[in-house]
Amino acid sequence: MAATLAEILIPVSASIATALVAGTASYFAGKGMRFQEWRLALLRERLLERQRLYARFLTEADRSQLIVIAKEEKSIDNLMPLLALFAEITLLSSSTVSKCAQQVCDVALSSISREVIEDINAYLPAKTAFLTAARAELEVLEARARRSTA
């Protein structure tokens, strides 16, 4: 009977040990996979958030310039949405993008404070600089997301 008990216990204990090792390995592999998926989702979310933020900022900047060109009522209230988006950009973006966004805001502020429209010609270079910096930052985020998946 002792031989029979050993014949049963050894395969059963080996099976249990194998199952424990396999389960532990599966747990850690799954945990690593979930962390990687979470990290990639976070990067994608940041990328989309910045794309939308930059698009809204440019829309508001264009709107403020059109108000000046159309010689409608010049008011700081017209710039409040632009300045709110600038505050978000300052919090979320790199210093290069923030500085370029500040240039766009400076042009918008100076254009509503003057009677003569002198800063219209300054708007396009400021907008172009912002677009260049924003695209570069978005490309870095995209490259980081691609590296995470590789």
Q: Distance (Å, rounded) from C-alpha 23 to C-alpha 94?
A: 43
- CA distance readout (Å), 150 to 36, 40, 75, 139, 144: 11, 11, 51, 17, 10
- Report whether 88 contacts 53 (CB < 8 A): yes
Q: Distance (Å, rounded) from C-alpha 32 to C-alpha 27?
A: 9
pLDDT of residue 117: 56
Amino acid type, 71? K
CB neighbours of 91 closer than 8 A, spacing ≥ 6? none
- Report whether 50 contacts 133 (CB < 8 A): no
**Nearest Cα residue to 77 out of 53, 90, 60:** 60
- Residue with the bigger pLDDT between 90 and 119: it is 90
pLDDT tens digits, residue range 21-79? 777 777 776 776 787 788 888 888 888 999 999 999 999 999 988 888 777 677 788 88
- Residue with the bigger pLDDT between 84 and 27: it is 84
For residue 16, pLDDT beyond 90: no
**Nearest Cα residue to 65 out of 131, 109, 128, 115:** 109
Domain extents for the chain?
A: 45-149
pLDDT tens digits, residue range 104-148? 999 988 887 765 555 567 889 999 999 999 999 999 988 887 787
